[in-house]
Amino acid sequence: MKKLLLSLLLISAILGVKAQEYVIPEEKWNYEEISGNNYHGYSFHKNWNVDFMVENQEGRYTPTDIDIAKAERLIQKKIAYVNRNHENQEGRCPIIDEHMHRYERQYVGFVDLNGAHIIWVNFLWDDTPAALLKKDIVKTSGGCGKYWCIKCNLDTEKVYGLEVNESGDVKYLPRDAKRRPRISKPKSDYNPQRIRKTGIIHSDAERRF
C-alpha cells in the first residue's frame, strides 16, 4: 500500500512539473491604444515593421504617452498654418484643421541622425474598422482631406511633411513589406491591451477646431 501511495505521489509530482513547464502561447499585436482629449488612435512598437522612413533616419523608437501628448499639442497648434494652402481640400473635401477631432490616428516613432525623436501620425476619417487600425498601418489613395499624414519633431517642435490624399474614390493600398510576426508570450506574462490616457488639458480655444 505504501509503495502504491509513493508511486502515485511520484507520478503527481512529475505531472506537476510538466504542467508548470507547459506554456500556452498567447498572440498579441505590438500596439497600444491611445486616448486623450480630442483624439484617439493606436501607437506601434519600435519593432513593428513599416515600409517607409523619415529623412536622416537613424532608427526607430516607441513613443511614450508624453511624446504623443506633445505631438498632438504641437500638431493641433500649428496645423492651420502648415495647411494654409488647403491642398486637395477643395469642394466637398473637408479642410483638415477644421475637423481634427473626427480623425482616428496611428503613431509611429523614429530617431534621426541627430538623436531627435520624430513621430509620424496617420489621420483617417472613415468607417475603417478598429480591428484594421490596430493591426497595421493603413495606407490609402483617394478620399482627399479625409486621409492625411504629418510628421512632428519633438526636439525642434517642428510640424512638417504634410501629405493629403488626392481626390477620388478611396482605395486601400497593400503594404510593400510583410508585417512582422505576432509575438507569442507565456500566459502568465500576458497583459491585455489597455487604453493609455495622456491627460492633456486643452484650453477653450484649442477645443475649437
Domain membership of residue 170 as a residue range: 28-207
Q: Which residues pair with 121 in a beta bridge?
A: 107, 150
Instruction: From residue 197, give the alpha-carbon distance in Å to each of 31, 39, 42, 76, 133.
Output: 15, 10, 12, 18, 18
User: Please, what is the end-to-end C-alpha distance for the chain in angstroms?
Assistant: 82
208 contacts: CB under 8 Å, gap ≥ 6: none
Q: What is the pLDDT of residue 27?
A: 41
Q: What is the pLDDT of residue 37?
A: 87
Neighbour count for residue 22 (Cβ, 10 Å)? 9
On whether residue 22 sits in a domain, the answer given is: no
Q: What is the pLDDT of residue 190?
A: 42
What are the pLDDT digits (tens) for 27-43? 455 889 999 988 999 99
Give Cα 101 distance to the centre of its chain.
Answer: 17
Q: What is the pLDDT of residue 177?
A: 53
On whether residue 12 sits in a domain, the answer given is: no
Q: Which residues pair with 139 in a beta bridge?
A: 173
On whether residue 143 sits in a domain, the answer given is: yes
Closest CA to 119 of 81, 148, 150: 150
- In tens digits, what is the pLDDT along the chain, a chain of 209 residues? 555 555 555 555 544 544 434 343 334 558 899 999 889 999 999 999 998 999 999 999 999 999 999 999 999 999 999 999 999 998 899 999 999 999 999 999 999 999 999 999 999 997 777 788 988 999 999 999 999 999 999 999 999 999 999 999 999 888 765 554 444 333 344 444 455 555 554 455 544 43
- Rounded (5°) CA angle 165-166-171: 70
On whether residue 193 sits in a domain, the answer given is: yes
On whether residue 97 sits in a domain, the answer given is: yes
On whether residue 9 sits in a domain, the answer given is: no
> Cα separation of 119 and 41, whole Å?
13
> Cα separation of 170 and 180, whole Å?
26
On whether residue 112 sits in a domain, the answer given is: yes
Decide: residue 162, CB within 10 A, 0-12 exposed, 13-18 middle, 19+ buried. middle
Residue position matching grid coordinates 484643421: 97
Whether 165 contacts 141, CB under 8 Å:
yes
As given in the structure block, the three cell numbers for residue 172 are 486601400
Domain count, the chain: 1
Whether 43 contacts 66, CB under 8 Å:
no
On whether residue 104 sits in a domain, the answer given is: yes
